[in-house]
Structure 1
Amino acid sequence: MNRTREHWTSRMGFILAAAGSAVGLGNVWRFPYVTGENGGGAFLLIYLGIVFSIGVSVLVAELIIGRSTQLDPAGAFRKLAGGAWPIVGYMSILTAFVILSFYCVIAGWTVAYMIKSITGSVLTANPEEIGGVFDAFITDPLEPVLYTALFIGLTVFVALGGVASGIERAARILMPALFFILLVLVARSVTLDGAVEGIAFFLEPDFSKVTWETLLAALGQAFFSLSLGMGAMITYGSYMQRHDDIAGSALAVTVLDALVAVLSGLVILPAVFAFGAAPTAGPGLTFITLPSIFAQMPFGFLFAALFFFLLAIAALTSAVALLEVVIAYFMDEGSANRKKVAVTAGIATFALAVPASLSLGVMSGFTIGGKVLFDALDYLTNNITLPLGGLLVALFLGWVLKHRGEEEFVDGSTLAPALVGAWRFIIRYVAPVAILLILINGLGFI
């Protein structure tokens, strides 16, 4: 086809959009409770070290694939190498679609809790009572499905505007809003009576708590928090201008992504300690523990609504990136226009999201490998296809496309020539081994 390729209008627009793709529920929801489960400050240091070495290196690799080809993931691998390599692209597109389907279910919960926080219906000082409210909500056959539909509609609406007028414009509004809300919530959390203990837990490393599981958790969190292995960064890289700076932009995206994770930790962990809750509460920390904490704060309903609005923004910017992976493929490979593809992809996402949501309630009797559909989709992507995709990207850039990859790395960048040696070593040796560990651990062999 002779379709004109869309591009970002500025480097800042790309950085904000790519950071929006990376910043998601993994940063604001998952990072604080994983940190709490793994000892606090020591985990934070290990996580940051991995993010700024392995994470940014794989991010650079994905951007190189996208920028050099100006194509979707499948088309990019076909153009660069052919053979069986396009399978990696197809896998990442399918992974993005599957993740989007159950991701929108969780994102719908954040929208619901934002509204319910204003009305006060999910705020009570009794965590057990809130746990019952949460269980009743997610197992309801209708309400969470309606919020999922609303969220998918918002995602499609942003994508309909295209790269510049849709994704980039939304990122320029949503990302500053996200940071503003984060700073407001940090200011409230760290000034609570008893918050000092939580701050110390989060920022003061205690390496006596570090175990092999801590390292694996940090590896997994660093990899997933940058939206790697799902085609999003390849797709966003394909919208870069031919000689845009990859190294500097990737570093800026990584800084923003890590900053959101750290600020989220400063929102949640000081508040948890201030009210005597357990930092090891796991996934329930967000929808069960935190509402009980907000209920005990002055103007708690307002801070709760702000927090869940923050979660919804983070989820939306990531969901748009996941949907764009699917849109880019069908626009590059076929003749359909953006509007038709975006709406069709949104409908298909909803079609898979509905049974994923219902599997937590009325369809819980239907299982795949002993897991309900929601958990099965999560396991398939997070434990298998995401790390496998990231591993193959690292091997591809490190060994198959090694010389051209290094040329693309330094093209358009004043920073990259000083870093190309380190990047070469990490992408060839360190990243494959680290991601292989994530994959093996996810499959339960460690």
Structure 2
Amino acid sequence: MSAPRGQFSSNFGFLMAAAGSAVGLGNIWGFPTNVAANGGAAFVVIYLVLAFLLAYPVLMAELAIGRYARSNMVKALREISPGPVSRAAGTLTGLGGILVASLILSFYAIVAGWMVAHLADPVATLVGAKEAAAWMTGDSTARNFTFTAIFSGFTMLIIASGVEKGIERWSTLLMPSLILLLLLLIVYVLAQPGAFQGLEAYLIPDFSKLSPELLLSAMGQAFFSLSLGVGTMLIYGSYLSKQESLPRLGALVTLIDVGIAFTAGLLILPAMYVAQEAGTQIFSEAGDLIAGPGLILQVLPALFDSMGTTGLFVAIAFFALMSIASLTSSISMLEVPVAFSIESLGLKRKPATLMMGLIIFLISTVIIFNFDSLFGLVISISTEYGQPLLGVALCIFAGWIWRRDQLLMEMQEGHEGIENTLFWKIWPWYVRIVCPLLILAAFAQTVL
């Protein structure tokens, strides 16, 4: 007998959980440097438009399927499938989503462990534990294993507590904390020499850099930033009350996600130019701004080191921000396989969390001990191939396989008269035809 399903107790709880899932490390370190390299404010405008032209419609498909079926990804896709062939396809797609979510979490937990280690580093320095601090920032297998285990343990503790007492409670605590830390750091960094040069790179448009490749890059950023395709939003949708309007909630989640991504740029780009002012190299040999782990683990720590004792407190605030962003995303990813274990395998929540959490941690461990050969490969398989193809599959299920009358009835829950709105006149055919083509275009650009 499976455990009873949970449910979000409020709109705010769902919004914080869904926004937390969407707001991760990629928003904070990837989006700002992507903007600076692709025309500044011109890229921001295109990204904002595409977030609603591509990401929002797919988000709506996931939320609608999840709330209608009230179950995990496998059972949900089978539930909306009318025949044996489509049910078999639903099973394969659902299992694929669980696998890809688990693979993403397996490497994400390693990167998140780096954030926790760098959070502990200035604390250790303040109390005089210099050897421990040096070990935390060293690139050793033992360090990676230890902090991946710590981060994975935190994630499992939250998921084991359930939807309302775990996911919702922690999301409503962590997301406001993330926003507050982000704003405080922005205020501090903007007061430093060189900050306004970074603001110019971020906010002044350079339309000469506009190109088809830039459009596809913005499209991919919009789609992936909302953690679509792997069932996280489908699962969160399954915990929503029938009294809520899905189009309104989906729009709010999209606005919060792009808003935080944009706000992160007001911190990261100025901080990079402050670091350059302090003598740190912020451009690669190819002339591009350093992004990704190199930005977070090399450029900004060098800036913090140049600030003396003040830099230790700024580093604590910054890596607390990064650790919170990591955690709010990781709990949504772990919930995907845990929900399947509870509802399809009949496990209680705590044993299901322990089992799936340990399996994913085991995959992380294999990656850690074979880092050079596996880390990039797992990222490529899961995010460059798995996620977009699953996104296309979800559009096909929502647009082609699910009966239109059932879809309309689900959308009418919490939004009476939606059949007369502009949303219903556009969204069904848009998610059926336009979204799969846009995702495949971004996928082709990434792969080819």
Fold-level similarity (TM above 0.5): yes
Structure 2 counterparts to residues 172-251 of structure 1, below 5 A? 172-251=172-251
Q: 1:3 to 1:143 in 2, by over 3 A?
A: closer
Q: Does 1:111 align with 2:113?
A: no
1:137/1:144 contact within 8 Å kept: no
Q: 2:146 corresponds to which residue?
A: 146
Q: Greater helix percent: which structure?
A: 2
Structure 2 counterparts to residues 382-401 of structure 1, below 5 A? 382-401=383-402
Q: 1:95 corresponds to which residue?
A: 100
Q: Distance in 2 between matches of 1:430 and 1:187?
A: 41
Q: 1:116 to 1:39 in 2, by over 3 A?
A: farther
Q: 1:420 corresponds to which residue?
A: 424
What letter is aligned with 1:326? P
Q: Distance in 2 between matches of 1:61 and 1:359?
A: 37
Q: 2:360 corresponds to which residue?
A: 349
Structure 2 counterparts to residues 405-416 of structure 1, below 5 A? 405-413=407-415
Cα offsets for 1:188-231 (capped at 9, x unmatched): 12222232221122122211112233222211111111010111
2:3/2:347 contact within 8 Å kept: no
User: How far off is 1:432 after superposition?
Assistant: 1.0
User: How far off is 1:400 after superposition?
Assistant: 2.2
Q: Distance in 2 between matches of 1:221 and 1:301?
A: 32
Alignment length (residue pairs): 422
Of the candidates 289, 306, 315, which is equivalent to residue 296 of structure 1?
A: 306
Q: Does 1:336 align with 2:347?
A: yes
Q: Distance in 1 between matches of 2:2 and 2:324?
A: 35
Q: 1:367 corresponds to which residue?
A: none
Cα offsets for 1:312-343 (capped at 9, x unmatched): 10110111111100110011102210010101
Structure 1, unaligned runs of 5 or more: 122-132, 365-371
Q: 1:157 to 1:219 in 2, by over 3 A?
A: same
Q: 2:84 corresponds to which residue?
A: none
What letter is aligned with 1:30? G
Q: 2:89 corresponds to which residue?
A: 84
Q: 1:306 to 1:86 in 2, by over 3 A?
A: same
- TM-score for both structures, normalised by structure 2: 0.89
1:63/1:237 contact within 8 Å kept: yes
Moved more, 70-79 or 4-13: 4-13
1:247/1:410 contact within 8 Å kept: no
Q: 1:208 to 1:96 in 2, by over 3 A?
A: same
Q: 1:440 corresponds to which residue?
A: 444
Q: 1:425 to 1:200 in 2, by over 3 A?
A: farther
Moved more, 240-249 or 405-414: 405-414
1:15/1:253 contact within 8 Å kept: yes
Q: Distance in 2 between matches of 1:303 and 1:200?
A: 23
Q: Distance in 1 between matches of 2:253 and 2:417?
A: 15
What letter is aligned with 2:407? G
Q: Distance in 2 between matches of 1:116 and 1:265?
A: 25
Cα offsets for 1:62-90 (capped at 9, x unmatched): 00110000010000011110242221111
Q: Distance in 1 between matches of 2:125 and 2:31?
A: 26
Q: Does 1:312 align with 2:323?
A: yes
Q: Distance in 2 between matches of 1:336 and 1:2?
A: 6
Q: 2:380 corresponds to which residue?
A: 379
Q: 2:258 corresponds to which residue?
A: 258
Q: 1:23 corresponds to which residue?
A: 23
Moved more, 293-302 or 68-77: 293-302
What letter is aligned with 1:352? I
1:406/1:424 contact within 8 Å kept: no
Cα offsets for 1:251-301 (capped at 9, x unmatched): 111111111111111111012123433371122111111111222336122
Q: Distance in 2 between matches of 1:55 and 1:74?
A: 22
Moved more, 175-184 or 271-280: 271-280
Q: 1:50 to 1:329 in 2, by over 3 A?
A: same
Q: 2:369 corresponds to which residue?
A: 358
Q: Distance in 2 between matches of 1:411 and 1:52?
A: 22
Q: Secondary structure at the match of 2:138?
A: helix
2:275/2:299 contact within 8 Å kept: no
Q: Distance in 2 between matches of 1:134 and 1:421?
A: 58
Q: Distance in 2 between matches of 1:40 and 1:223?
A: 19
Q: Distance in 1 between matches of 2:3 and 2:217?
A: 43
User: How far off is 1:119 after superposition?
Assistant: 4.2
Q: Does 1:280 align with 2:292?
A: no
Q: Distance in 1 between matches of 2:20 and 2:55?
A: 16
